[in-house]
Amino acid sequence: MSAVPGLPANMCPLCAYTGSNVPEFDDIMSFVPDNTHRVHLDELVTQVRTALQGQLGIDMPRAQIREHFLSHQCDQKVVLHEVMRDLVGIIAVAKTTCIVSTEQGVSMDPKNTSVYIDAVKQLMCIYKQLDHAGRAKN
């Protein structure tokens, strides 16, 4: 069943509304990119879902709203913050596997250390990109 009456079931209601010049919709959709640096995307999706239901009568599953922001809209800030959060988890795991115990004592695992260093570099690049985007906006 479609979240919006008259809309084909396989069409994203948020994509269908995009460009409709409905001020309430535009405000709701700008909420995620404007706040993605403050709160995890899952919480923003919950708030957007509530606003869509209350203000526009659009009832969508959280997963579909999340997919819209990450796969349809692909706003740079939203996607980069999601990747950044993934990298933080990868870095934490890689860091714990860098040092290994052997019969000779403690040593560094070169492969895991390389993964850790590469992930940190990528995270720093994302921070720089987000910082640059933030400065360009102001």
* pTM of the entire predicted model: 0.73
Rounded Cα gap, residues 100 and 39, in angstroms: 35
Is 70 exceeded by the pLDDT of residue 138?
A: no
Domain ranges in the chain are 13-74, 78-137
> Over the stretch 24-40, which tens digit does the pLDDT of each residue have?
999 999 999 999 999 99
> Over the stretch 76-114, which tens digit does the pLDDT of each residue have?
889 999 999 999 999 999 999 988 888 888 888 899 999
Q: How much is the pLDDT for 131?
A: 84
Rounded Cα gap, residues 42 and 45, in angstroms: 5
pLDDT band, very low/low/confident/very high, at 4 (cuts 50, 70, 90): low
> Can you read off the two tokens belonging to residue 74?
């692909």
